Amino acid sequence: MPDASGLRRLLVSNEVSVLSSNIRTMRRFFMAGGRKLSYLDFGGPGRPLLALHGHYNEASAFAPLAAALTPRWRVIALDQRGHGESDRARSYERDEYVADVAAFHRHLGVGPVAVLGHSLGGVNAYQFAARHADKVSALIVEDIGAVVDCDWSFTTRLPGVTPSREALVAALGTTAPYLECSFRQTAQGWGFSFDIADTVASQKALNGDHWNDWISVSCPTLLVHGTRSDELAADHAKDMVARCAGRVRLAELTAGHVVHHDVPAQFADAVTVFLSELC
């Protein structure tokens, strides 16, 4: 079995990849609002868990988590609009992202389901859960707040097209491992599966006060906080738990903003314990 980075590259380049001897990962597509959206079904016999990635990432970022959760859970991860193999969009507003998740759920034909989201995907997940309570049985939100104040200066400093993968890695420095699942090679060189200007637009639309949605979620919720995160402050995470009257539990892990990348085993353990107590 390839390492995590090699596995993510396989999932980008092939429609079918093998996670283990008894699990096949399938890339599939569906239409939502006239736009083609892509997703990875990591397969297996388990109950479905819908996964929503953050900015700079795509569905393949959840390959290690899917491997850790099988066979009890079958991770199905969406390439959100403008990311991965999904079409780019004219706009990236909150309601549009939530409508995409609703279309994803409808396409899969599943009933009430567990939903996990990181960062951008975390807000999309809890807004979907708040507005479609009958469709979400459990919620995992990874390192994002009920109030978001995103700084997109990092995005505008990202390199454009580089002549080689090595040059792209060198330009990104220590952040390269977090973005590598979105690396793409074209005739012009190496860049990303997302558009930089689209990402800035999406980050601007993500900013704001989303407390009404957060406190409106009715299903059991796990909030995962990276204690070294530069996105979710510890006090804000505790406030998110306190305002939800016992419905939300907090898992604090020694990690940065991308908890599932920094401490994959601990993250998978926290998700497994939470879901096993409910199901």
Please give the pLDDT value at position 278: 84
DSSP 87: P
Please give the pLDDT value at position 20: 42
For the cut 90, the answer to whether the pLDDT of residue 68 exceeds it is: yes
Please give the pLDDT value at position 245: 84
For the cut 80, the answer to whether the pLDDT of residue 5 exceeds it is: no
Summarize the confidence of residues 78-94 as an average pLDDT. Answer: 98
> Positive or negative, the Cα torsion across 250, 97, 91, 185?
positive
- Band of pLDDT at residue 265, cut at 50, 70 and 90: very high
For the cut 90, the answer to whether the pLDDT of residue 244 exceeds it is: yes
Q: Are 143 and 232 in contact (CB under 8 A)?
A: yes
Please give the pLDDT value at position 14: 39
Summarize the confidence of residues 5-27 as an average pLDDT. Answer: 52
Please give the pLDDT value at position 264: 98
Alpha-carbon gap, residue 80 to 266, rounded angstroms: 25
For the cut 80, the answer to whether the pLDDT of residue 1 exceeds it is: no
For the cut 50, the answer to whether the pLDDT of residue 100 exceeds it is: yes
For the cut 60, the answer to whether the pLDDT of residue 113 exceeds it is: yes
Q: Are 43 and 24 in contact (CB under 8 A)?
A: yes
Please give the pLDDT value at position 23: 63
Prediction pTM value = 0.93
Alpha-carbon gap, residue 74 to 62, rounded angstroms: 11
Q: Is the peptide bond before 71 cis (omega within 30 degrees of 0)?
A: yes
Summarize the confidence of residues 53-76 as an average pLDDT. Answer: 97
Summarize the confidence of residues 58-76 as an average pLDDT. Answer: 97
Please give the pLDDT value at position 17: 45
Between strands 23-32 and 35-41, the pairing is antiparallel
Between strands 136-142 and 73-79, the pairing is unpaired
pLDDT tens sequence across 225-235: 999 999 999 99
Question: What value does the mean pLDDT of the chain take?
Answer: 93
Alpha-carbon gap, residue 250 to 238, rounded angstroms: 8
181: Cβ–Cβ under 8 A, 6 or more apart, which residues?
8, 9, 12, 57, 58, 60, 61
Write down the residue that tokens 């085993």 correspond to: 265
